[in-house]
Amino acid sequence: MGMQNNAKKPHVLIFPFPGQGHINPMLQFAKRLHSKGVKATLVPTVFLSKSSFFNSSASIDLCTISDGFDEGGFEQADTPYAYLSTFWNVGPKSLAALIKKLRHTAHPVDALVYDTMLPWALDVAKQFGILSAAFFTQSCAVNNVYYHVYKGHLQLPLRGSHVSLPAMPPLHVSELPSFVAIYGLHRAWLDVLVDQFSNIDEADWVFFNHFYELEPEVVDWMSKFWNVMTVGPTIPFIYLDQRLENDKHYGMNMFKPNVTACMSWLSGKPKDSVVYVSFGSIASLGIEQMEEIAWALKDRNGYFLWVVRETEKAKLPHNYIKETSHKGLVVTWCPQLEVLSHESVGCFLTHCGFNSTLEALSLGVPMLALPQWTDQCTNAKYIEDVWRIGIRARPDEKGIVRKETIIRCIKELLTEVGKNREGIKKNSIKWKNLAKKAVDEGGKSDQNVDEFIAKLI
């Protein structure tokens, strides 16, 4: 679907929560709108725009708003509560001022696509009479859990070891989002995630960043309440339908990736021989868990590429990088999509953040799940038992996944001959093909985006 050259382009503001896992899918959604003739403007915070590496090949405009911490962002605040309460006070006024300013340009705002973690943005959209779409960056299953907490159907603290919710498999407490499973843990973030539903009934659309076949039961159940549309997976075009051949990266990084080092190192490695390890932009491992992973990767004597953020490097064993350089490469950040799409990568040892999960699933890479917190334990459950595209490495009674367990799981995914490995590989290919079909021309996600645009014209 494309717009006529002489027609006025609809203008959509895309407003993500200021975190890498929120920016990536929403910026990619903006690029997909742009490819269909819509003017899309990303709205980061002032600090994020100054501190991130931005390079969008899709000509996405940037307009900033203030979160009240223009010089330091989240780190400038003393506590999560301090950051969130200030953002909730300053943000609505700043967003309203932006929309008002754009009213007097050639491209006034027609619709606001807002991150559900910023529900007050919907109130601002209603204030100006513009259309609104809530955008969830976590899975339907995870948000179904938070929805039932919001409605009071799931009482906290939990009683019992299992939870049964509509359209989902029974979940052990250890498979629930950590903020729900351990009541009182990071209470500020639980409040934000539950509050996503405070006004969502007023949104014109509710978008999910995945494709229908991934969670059909939950999508159908939620569609009873809202105008739900699956619009993903929102990853760069070149990895899916290739309608934009130069769209290889998301375009905005909070960390600078070591592109040349990573891709040069992968070049020439045998097919499916490399274990790629990354725990995302936020998760922080304890020293003991870090050491268990380090010794597992070293002792199995196979190839590995490990992303260890600069703030985490001190947790590595002494002289580890030098001692493992014949088989491994440790970098502070990498171009994850390029790495996952490389034929030498055989499995992904992941924290199970939803973006990472969706990327691996869309590129057909089996996963070794080692979840840490927030939505990751629920994602790990789906990776292993619902989508069957990986296995979860189980912790011991101290909550630590030991090196022997990690080695055994890697062996099961990479080299062990058997029905489990064959099934995981077969399912990985199946989901990869379904992801491509969803966003290709005429696919369900592609149709949903077209339907959204049609309402703006």
DSSP strand pairing (345-350 vs 274-278): parallel
Catalytic residue among 22, 249, 342, 351: 22
For residue 367, what are the CA distances in angstroms to 29, 239, 270, 327, 350?
A: 25, 18, 19, 20, 7
Q: End-to-end alpha-carbon separation of the chain, Å?
A: 12
Location of structure tokens 């911490």:
69
* DSSP codes, 99-143: HHHHHTSSS---EEEEETT-THHHHHHHHHT-EEEEEE-S-HHHH
11 carries an active-site annotation: no
115 carries an active-site annotation: yes
Question: Taking Cα atoms as reference points, which of 331, 233, 246 lies closest to residue 55?
Answer: 246
Catalytic residue among 34, 67, 110, 115: 115
Question: Taking Cα atoms as reference points, which of 312, 306, 277 lies closest to residue 393?
Answer: 277
Question: 10 Å Cβ neighbour count for 100?
Answer: 13
DSSP percent split of the chain into helix, strand, coil, nearest 5 = 45, 15, 40
What CA–CA distance (Å, rounded) separates 113 from 16? Answer: 8
| Element (DSSP H or E) covering residue 12 | strand 11-15
The conformation of residue 317, written as its DSSP 8-state character, comes to: P
Helices (H), ranges, 129-279? 140-150, 178-181, 187-194, 216-222, 259-266
Question: Taking Cα atoms as reference points, which of 219, 24, 177, 39 lies closest to residue 115?
Answer: 24
What CA–CA distance (Å, rounded) separates 370 from 47? Answer: 31
Six token digits for residue 232 = 């993903």
- DSSP three-state, residue 263: helix
What CA–CA distance (Å, rounded) separates 363 from 190? Answer: 31
Residue type, 136: F
Residues acting as catalytic residues:
22, 115
